[in-house]
Chains A and B, each alone.
Chain A
Amino acid sequence: NAGVTQTPKFQVLKTGQSMTLQCAQDMNHNSMYWYRQDPGMGLRLIYYSASEGTTDKGEVPNGYNVSRLNKREFSLRLESAAPSQTSVYFCASSPRGAYNEQFFGPGTRLTVL
């Protein structure tokens, strides 16, 4: 089992460009999450999906959209990238809810110029 996979691993964008970060899990988990990690700060939740068909905003949702395509896949879209979105993005999944152990992907390092 691959666990949680993310693509791409690295990306450089120019301000105003759009892109989608892909995340998939093969553990049959109900809940999935997108975080960003910035230097000197803990992980901050962008969006989460408690179960297939539902998505909700986290702490820092502005500038992002998500799609829970099916139970396995949860994508994060930046419609018009800004330098403030330069960060490392992590996808995670858990059986149901943050009360359970979360399993993380390897991360995507995004730079917006």
Chain B
Amino acid sequence: AQRVTQPEKLLSVFKGAPVELKCNYSYSGSPELFWYVQYSRQRLQLLLRHISRESIKGFTADLNKGETSFHLKKPFAQEEDSAMYYCALWGIDSNYQLIWGAGTKLIIKP
């Protein structure tokens, strides 16, 4: 079965420190993976997706098929990065459904 696991419910780091939000997935095929973010009092929105290979707001994520991971990284955290982060998976046999992780709350301490 398809599954997305975000092992950390809460991650707290100091401003300027590196950040890594973990995402592991279970899927037998070739997945498309996403990171969505929800800032306080804002809507859930796409942060980045695997296929784009972009760096958004300093965040990057690399798909590691061997480890079935799609961790989100940023070298130097900023206070405005504090938010809820969700990893999601789409597979060709998942029809129109995204499979979501439970989310990680990131708190950046000043």
Contacts and interface: CB of A to CB of B under 8 A. Distances in A.
A61 to B, nearest CB: 12
Interface size class of B (residues with CB under 8 A): 20 to 34
B46 interface: yes
Interface residues of A, number: 27
B18 to A, nearest CB: 25
Interface string A31-42: 101000000111
B100 A44 contact: yes
Interface of B is mostly: loop
B74 interface: no
A98 B100 contact: no
A102 B98 contact: yes
Interface of A is mostly: loop
Interface of B: 4, 6, 9, 32, 43-46, 49, 86, 88, 90, 94-103
13 contacts: A31-B96, A41-B102, A42-B4, A42-B6, A42-B88, A42-B103, A44-B100, A45-B98, A50-B96, A56-B96, A98-B97, A101-B49, A106-B43
Interface of A: 3-4, 31, 33, 40-45, 48, 50, 56, 58-59, 90, 92, 97-99, 101-107
